[in-house]
Structure 1
């Protein structure tokens, strides 16, 4: 009797183990058929079908022959358009509560934004959001973030870092590091990496030699290097040559490059009035596409593969005089002109809003795409700016950014053609993140 009991127990264990293995071996299949696929690789869309296995694109078929595995969830998308999931390359999501950040990321995901690049916030919150969004604990855009690297003067004079370092001292935590010539850069970068950051962001009061040293160390530890296009006293040309993967903000970029003598940041002046006076003189500097400094900078950015994260939205949305301009007049605003010339010279343009969500819940990346086309980008290149170019800036181009076999199934299904009208990125039927439709 004892032998029979043991045999029965062993059989139960074998059956349970075999059942678990079978469950693991049973993938989830989704078929998206008969849609126009805009893969961000080709310049045009083509009718075809996708087979998604779990979270990855298994096969893409353009010959009309669609195989649907047994039990597959099938979407007939005739008349619809599929683009890669969008990425907002410039957000700040931790200046409120954790719940507010979670809600914002959920809203963004439903608007087709499957990933965001946070450019400096509370590293503790960002680490949690990154994990929870990736594993599905929360439903929202995937989070990639930087730590902030700057000179001590920035952390001493700007109140914003302390807002996202509550309970600690700004500039002395892993997500915010004040650096000087004597800083152990290896340790500073290692702390950023240990936190889960994708990159360091170099901000203010870092000279060109120190910029290059910290950028070199970050790359040695396989982190990306993000920076403003201007890091006073370091000029844009020294930033791209120093190793920046992404340079943010097109506004005044070229004036800073052309300025004579040392350039300054807003905290380098004894008063706001003095800072405004200096900035007005800077903005009065004239330039065009034939200016030697302009050609030199954009050639260097192209050759160094430094992406320009233009953030045109912030030069448009918060200025009523500009916001009410015609597209033709808008194209003559300095930030827009800079993007036009950079694009014509072959610089890669990324799409970042620097203001992810408005008070009414509007996700502003879609406006950024429209503004990029106003600056001269074709509709397909505006889509690329928010997909494959931004994926490259994250170092994630092997996983996301295009619709290709083997890549993560982050997808947006549209009712109307974004190659005809870029604003059609707002006309969303479905959003898929990691192969799962977002409810």
Structure 2
């Protein structure tokens, strides 16, 4: 029987104060492919355990080798889904292997035309400026002569990510709050503050937020929205998908699910995470701001470095399709193999001084958007939103100063920031 080495990087509570860098470093140095137990935690049942992969080289190998390390066999989150739900989950592109994965990826790629992305950028910049200006103005008005403080997650970044996504999808204004509600339900299920009242399944245990029963309202909305777009086409992604003859109704529903959750939460997690990194490195922020104001700053490397420091997704799971070996460890067919992006992004074997914030770092082969066939389809749109957001932030705020410690999402899957209070 395999024993579980310390440290543990499974328990979601271990991420309540940010990335567990000390644990990651010990694993990289001494147990780069380490067996981890899956005890019952936060009311969720125990699992069979998994291999934690923490070095950059091994993470990239797992992500690129979809033949050996399957996304389809057991889906892509650490905790095993109900076997009865697996056929449902495998409809999603994220939980498929080539060649089926490639077909769906090509279908949705057709929606991201250069013209649509260009028009999107204009709206996004105006939205970033408007949300930031309103939040800072309200905070200063309420704070008196000494200035004020605001929670940029509650007043800026949640809305920024949500409204950008709603524009892309073509969700009517009055129904856009549903996107955030669904995101919190699926992404925040491990965090008592985000999960809401517990919902029990037939066995009395917490219901899986990925199950068909828990997503019925989202899929119903997707069908209704697609029907509306067929009658009233517009310049948005749901119109493109609704008119695509290759897509079945279940596939369209799963695309809506994937775009709603991943499309929203990538930026929703990364934007405040980047601000937090900049607030903790005031000299780097001053240099960045001076460059933006002078028109000489290259925001591209800055975005990449902030993504490296704060990857939106903490982990992704694969399942070994057959017996293999990874970093000298024998992996049995059926074993869960979980990559940890935050650890790979701080691997001293790849990144010089990985805990130094270097906004001009190049090359910067971080894995915050994954690698291989499943590399994030919307990465270019996420980068666009983050670049414009940071640029508008530097134009408006001479300095970034924390008014309170940040609050992180309790999750071993998403690197979320629940609250980030800044002095403005």
> TM-score by structure 2 length?
0.23
When Rg is computed on C-alpha atoms for both structures, the one with the higher figure is 1
> TM-score by structure 1 length?
0.23
- Bigger relative contact order (CA 8 A; separation at least 6): 2
The structure richer in helix per residue is 2
The structure richer in strand per residue is 1
